[in-house]
């Protein structure tokens, strides 16, 4: 007889799953076969996810890994469910971060961007981006991400760039984009503006100065901004200062005498300090607004480099503002104008989120999006539209608590400063005429001539747009907009946007703003926000504690992508932070191995011919077959529901538990020997692998091939709940046997019987007797019995342990277990020992001196000890009573 080529033997099926031997080649074969490619199919429902684009120059970090794992689960599930599934990968140019990196590299060679000039510098950045883009792409692949690489998009690609210019022009024409002189957050190191939410706060300790200002005392932490503070502001209702309102007087000050004026404005807080403040309109948002209300002059004291301007006077102009502080105070002290200095002023300093440099609020001419102006013909503001779509449920945010946070944030949104003073990014599509200096020319394409004077000497605005402007368009710019593409029509709005809650405002909110404005539809139906990855102790991972930082790529090479994915998904839920450490990932590698071992056992016990036979209902033979098929339907139903509800953790756990406890522990045990039914074994295995596939894509694909099944598992249909495979009555019978076996095991545990000791048992099965007889061998194996007597019914055997449940009576004759008298002695002795200990602890707990002086931990420990002894005594007493009953 010819040897069957796929008759597995212990040697041909590896004992353990080595992820490293499979992952790369499996991914390549998926990609090569085009298995990730999305197709437009009007008969199917679309399911679209856009991948939050990692920075083009970045490397895969844990945040990406969590995001990729969760999105891949959703995408694989929907693909198997039969939806037309599209997952678009991409990379973000991350303007400020990337430019910083390249500038740093240049600085090592002693070159600045200005030495190169704009064009050459951009070429330099582009070369750098090309080099590192492939790194992040390969790392995304390593996670097993089944995204459609044929549609990969980069934020600076031609399509998205056209989308950016088109939206800019439209918003400008609608009067929503304006150029204005306003206070911005300026980073003197990055030499650029930052959006409000790009500012971080750091608690610092500094000095706080109380200065004599005419008849008042004013407080400030930043005397270097005060050179031209000519206006003192009091609250209109503050009785203390009523008589001063409207008065002017001479104020001896840093550079000689100023003429000060007192005004009333509700912005002044009577409770804060002396209740009088002076204003520095060019360097504070509040002061700027007061100055605008009262039409005061706005003079810049600090420039973009953080140096004092000419307005600070000859002595100070050109000095670094912060370094000048002490000198200014000396100057004021000499004049007797310093009332006192508080050395321990703690406050929140705003710093740049990129480089940690202190932010300098200053006035600057920038481009803004007006969030409070009504959109023509829509009669609503951007803000109102963006709040509305969440309130009316067009967008659902998970976890729900973020809906409130979002609405609140959106309600308080200020005009969005969108210009950045860097070179890398989408250059603002605005030109200025060098000839007539007329109005700015806003245009999608580079204009040839000035529309007013027809001159061709035009200069483009040197600034670039905030990176979030282009990522705000990401759901539709990746689908071809502004062209009317079939993709846009079919795949938009996208289904789920999955990302970390830390970028809810940066990105999610901006997508809602830009999409509802541009397309008049939502960018996505559901927002799923995952938590942050934390250390074993729940702390934030930080580079300053490298031992707590986990590199996902390291973990993949050590334990496999499947194990890493599981360790980030199981135990997590929307919004929950995830604790991650190496032992946890190693634990999930064992979990993956258990699935492999169960499958391996089944493969070793089936022939190639059996694997080639299609499962039908006719192949069901035993009651146990019916039970496992019934259980399988239940897990299919539950897992599907849980995935639909985004409860991936519970879905994964239930599928695994099914395979482990029901399939391996019970069904395989019940189906050994003559009861083996390969058809059912293989069917249940295949269905379970399909359920597991979205969670552990690589190993399930490797096993799928070994089960002799056709095609990729990733292209199979998601298992369907089949009511024809529900056998309620038969299942109940099997469950009763499980309970009976469980009871025997429990008795063994309670009476501390050596687990290896084989016992004799008597079972009265009533109507279940034929089934008990049929499963006799399995029951003996599972309960570790050497002999079993099965009868329909009978008298209670004397001196035996007994339990009756679900209509089955089980007895274990006592003499094989222990000498009754000896056991009674042992129990009594054990009870005495506990009583002694308990008395000791109690006397301490009743001792007033001990209670008054002992540390809380010691007292708590004593209380715990007392509880432990009490509990043990209750159990022992029960045991003693039952032994005494038997001895009678
Ligand atoms: Zn900075
Ligand atoms: Zn002109």
Give the pair of three-digit tokens for residue 463: 């600034």
Q: Bigger pLDDT: 642 or 352? A: 642
pTM value? 0.82
Q: What are phi and psi of 759, to 5 degrees?
A: -120, 165
In order of 51, 201, 659, 781, the CA distances from 543 in angstroms are: 26, 19, 40, 53
How many whole angstroms from 434 Cα to the centroid of ligand 2? 7
Using one digit for the tens of pLDDT, what is the confidence trace for 156-186? 999 999 999 999 999 999 999 999 888 889 9
pLDDT band at 3 (very low <50, low <70, confident <90, very high): very low
How many whole angstroms from 449 Cα to the centroid of ligand 2? 8
How many whole angstroms from 199 Cα to the centroid of ligand 1? 9
How many whole angstroms from 432 Cα to the centroid of ligand 2? 8
Cβ–Cβ < 8 Å for 604, 678: no
Ligand positioned closest to the Cα atom of 187: 1
Closest CA to 528 of 112, 50, 45: 50
Coil, strand or helix at 112: coil
How many whole angstroms from 358 Cα to the centroid of ligand 1? 8
| pLDDT above 50: residue 4 | no
Cα dihedral 423, 202, 500, 372 sign = negative
Ligand positioned closest to the Cα atom of 99: 1
Using one digit for the tens of pLDDT, what is the confidence trace for 835-858? 999 999 999 899 988 888 888 888
CA 516 to chain centre: 25
Predicted local confidence at residue 750, as pLDDT: 79
Q: What gap in Å lies between CA 255 and CA 389, rounded to an integer?
A: 55
Ligand positioned closest to the Cα atom of 437: 2
Using one digit for the tens of pLDDT, what is the confidence trace for 509-563? 999 999 999 999 999 999 999 988 898 888 887 776 777 788 999 999 999 999 9
Contacts of 473 (CB under 8 A, 6+ apart): 160, 163, 164, 167, 481, 511, 514, 515, 518
503-530 in b/e form (b: 16+ CB < 10 A) is bbbbbbbbbbbbbbbbbeebbbeebbbb
Predicted local confidence at residue 28, as pLDDT: 97
Peptide bond into 399 cis (omega under 30): yes
Number of separate helices (H) and strands (E) present in the chain: 29, 29
Predicted local confidence at residue 819, as pLDDT: 75
| pLDDT above 50: residue 245 | yes
Residues 326-339, mean pLDDT to the nearest whole number = 93
How many whole angstroms from 89 Cα to the centroid of ligand 1? 29
Residues in the chain: 888
Contacts of 624 (CB under 8 A, 6+ apart): 666, 667, 670, 671, 675, 734, 775
Parallel, antiparallel or unpaired: strands 153-154 and 177-187? unpaired
Q: What gap in Å lies between CA 681 and CA 734, rounded to an integer?
A: 17
Using one digit for the tens of pLDDT, what is the confidence trace for 486-500? 999 999 999 999 998
How many whole angstroms from 437 Cα to the centroid of ligand 2? 6
- pLDDT > 90 fraction of the chain, expressed in percent and rounded: 65
Contacts of 437 (CB under 8 A, 6+ apart): none
* Cα-Cα end-to-end distance for the chain: 67
Residues 375-391, mean pLDDT to the nearest whole number = 96
| pLDDT above 70: residue 564 | yes
Q: What gap in Å lies between CA 87 and CA 75, rounded to an integer?
A: 7
Using one digit for the tens of pLDDT, what is the confidence trace for 728-763? 999 999 999 999 899 888 888 877 788 888 889 999
Q: What gap in Å lies between CA 166 and CA 164, rounded to an integer?
A: 5
Contacts of 525 (CB under 8 A, 6+ apart): 394, 395, 396, 493, 494, 495, 496
Using one digit for the tens of pLDDT, what is the confidence trace for 427-485? 999 999 999 999 999 999 999 999 999 999 999 999 999 999 999 999 999 999 999 99
How many whole angstroms from 717 Cα to the centroid of ligand 2? 64
Residue ranges in 519-581 assigned as alpha helix (H): 552-559, 561-569
Q: What gap in Å lies between CA 406 and CA 504, rounded to an integer?
A: 8
Coil, strand or helix at 39: coil
Burial class (CB in 10 A: 0-12, 13-18, 19+), 317: middle
Predicted local confidence at residue 439, as pLDDT: 92
- Residues 156/160/166/168 CA torsion (nearest 10 deg): -60
Q: What gap in Å lies between CA 705 and CA 133, rounded to an integer?
A: 33
Q: What gap in Å lies between CA 676 and CA 605, rounded to an integer?
A: 9
How many whole angstroms from 455 Cα to the centroid of ligand 1? 38
How many whole angstroms from 354 Cα to the centroid of ligand 1? 5
Q: Bigger pLDDT: 874 or 542? A: 874
Burial class (CB in 10 A: 0-12, 13-18, 19+), 77: buried
Cα dihedral 324, 327, 332, 335 sign = negative
Predicted local confidence at residue 132, as pLDDT: 87
Give the pair of three-digit tokens for residue 671: 């189906």
H or E element: which one contains 312? none
């Amino acid at each position: 007889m010819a040897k069957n080529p796929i008759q597995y033997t212990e040697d041909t099926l590896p004992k353990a799953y080595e992820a490293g031997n499979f992952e790369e080649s499996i991914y390549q074969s998926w990609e090569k076969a085009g298995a990730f490619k999305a197709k437009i199919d009007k008969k199917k429902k679309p399911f679209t996810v856009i991948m939050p684009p990692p920075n083009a120059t970045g490397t895969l970090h844990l945040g990406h890994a969590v995001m990729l794992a969760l999105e891949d689960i959703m995408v694989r599930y929907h693909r198997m469910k039969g939806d037309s599934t599209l997952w678009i990968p991409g990379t973000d140019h991350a303007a400020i971060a990337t430019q910083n990196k390249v500038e740093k590299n240049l600085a090592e060679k002693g070159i600045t961007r200005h030495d190169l000039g704009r064009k050459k510098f951009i070429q330099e950045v582009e070369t750098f981006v090309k080099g590192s883009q492939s790194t992040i792409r390969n790392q995304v692949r390593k996670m097993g991400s089944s995204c459609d690489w044929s549609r990969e998009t980069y934020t600076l690609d031609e399509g998205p760039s056209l989308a950016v210019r088109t939206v800019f022009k439209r918003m400008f024409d609608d009067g929503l984009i304006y150029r204005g002189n306003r206070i911005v957050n300026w980073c003197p190191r990055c030499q650029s503006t930052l959006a409000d939410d790009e500012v971080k706060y750091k608690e610092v300790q500094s000095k706080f100065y109380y200065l004599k200002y005419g008849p008042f005392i004013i407080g400030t932490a930043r005397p270097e901004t005060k050179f031209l503070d000519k206006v003192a502001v009091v609250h209109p209702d503050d009785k203390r200062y009523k008589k001063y309102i409207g008065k002017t007087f001479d104020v001896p000050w840093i550079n000689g005498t100023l003429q000060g004026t007192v005004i009333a404005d509700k912005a002044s807080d009577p409770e804060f300090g002396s209740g009088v403040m002076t204003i520095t309109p060019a360097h504070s948002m509040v002061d700027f607004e007061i100055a605008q209300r009262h039409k005061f002059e706005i003079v810049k004291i600090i420039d973009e480099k953080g140096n004092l301007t000419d307005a600070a006077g000859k002595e100070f102009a050109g000095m670094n503002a912060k370094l000048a502080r002490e000198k200014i105070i000396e100057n004021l002290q000499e004049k007797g104008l310093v009332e006192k200095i508080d050395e321990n002023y703690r406050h929140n300093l705003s710093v740049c989120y990129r480089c940690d440099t202190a932010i300098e609020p200053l006035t600057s001419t920038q481009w803004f999006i007006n969030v409070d102006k009504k959109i023509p013909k829509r009669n609503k503001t951007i803000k109102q539209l963006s709040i509305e779509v969440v309130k009316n449920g067009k967008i659902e945010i998970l976890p729900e608590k973020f809906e409130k946070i979002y609405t609140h944030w959106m309600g308080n949104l200020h005009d969005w400063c969108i210009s950045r003073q860097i070179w890398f990014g989408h250059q603002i599509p605005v030109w200025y005429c060098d000839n007539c200096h007329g109005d700015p020319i806003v245009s999608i394409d580079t204009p040839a001539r000035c529309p007013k004077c027809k001159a061709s000497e035009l200069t483009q605005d040197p600034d670039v747009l905030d990176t979030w402007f282009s990522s705000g368009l990401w759901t539709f710019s990746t689908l071809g907009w502004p062209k009317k593409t079939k993709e846009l029509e079919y795949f938009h709005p996208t289904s789920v946007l999955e990302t970390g809650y830390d970028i809810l405002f940066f990105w999610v909110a901006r997508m809602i703003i830009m999409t509802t404005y541009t397309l008049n539809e939502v960018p996505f139906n559901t927002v799923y926000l995952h938590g942050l990855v934390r250390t074993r102790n729940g702390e934030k991972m930080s580079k300053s504690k490298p031992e707590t930082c986990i590199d996902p790529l390291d973990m993949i090479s050590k334990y496999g992508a499947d194990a890493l994915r599981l360790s980030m998904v199981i135990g997590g839920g929307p919004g929950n932070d995830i604790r991650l450490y190496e032992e946890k990932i190693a634990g999930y590698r064992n979990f993956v191995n258990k699935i492999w071992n169960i499958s391996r056992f089944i493969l070793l016990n089936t022939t190639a011919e059996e694997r080639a036979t299609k499962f039908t209902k006719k192949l069901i033979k035993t009651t146990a077959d019916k039970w496992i098929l019934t259980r399988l339907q239940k897990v299919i139903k539950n897992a599907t529901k849980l995935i639909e509800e985004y409860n991936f953790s519970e879905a994964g756990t239930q599928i695994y538990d099914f395979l482990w406890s029901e399939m391996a522990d019970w069904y395989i045990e019940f189906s050994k020997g003559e009861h083996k039914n390969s058809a059912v074994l293989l069917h249940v295995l295949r269905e379970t692998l399909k359920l597991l596939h979205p969670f552990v894509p690589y190993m399930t694909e490797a096993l799928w091939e070994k089960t002799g099944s056709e095609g990729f598992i990733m292209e199979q249909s998601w298992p369907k709940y089949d009511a024809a495979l529900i056998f309620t009555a038969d299942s109940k019978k099997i469950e009763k046997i499980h309970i009976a076996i469980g009871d025997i095991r429990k008795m063994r545990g309670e009476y501390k019987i050596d687990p290896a000791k084989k016992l004799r048992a008597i079972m009265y099965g009533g109507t279940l007797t034929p089934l008990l007889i049929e499963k006799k061998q399995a029951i003996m194996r599972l309960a570790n019995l050497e002999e079993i007597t099965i009868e329909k019914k009978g008298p209670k055997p004397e001196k035996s342990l007994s339990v009756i449940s679900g209509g089955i009576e089980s007895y274990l004759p006592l003499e094989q277990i222990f000498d009754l008298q000896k056991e009674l002695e042992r129990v009594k002795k054990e009870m005495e020992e506990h009583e002694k200990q308990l008395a000791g602890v109690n006397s301490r707990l009743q001792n007033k001196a001990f209670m008054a002086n002992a540390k809380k931990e010691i007292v708590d420990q004593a209380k715990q000890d007392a509880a432990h002894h009490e509990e043990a005594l209750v159990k022992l007493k029960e045991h003693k009573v039952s032994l005494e009953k038997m001895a009678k």
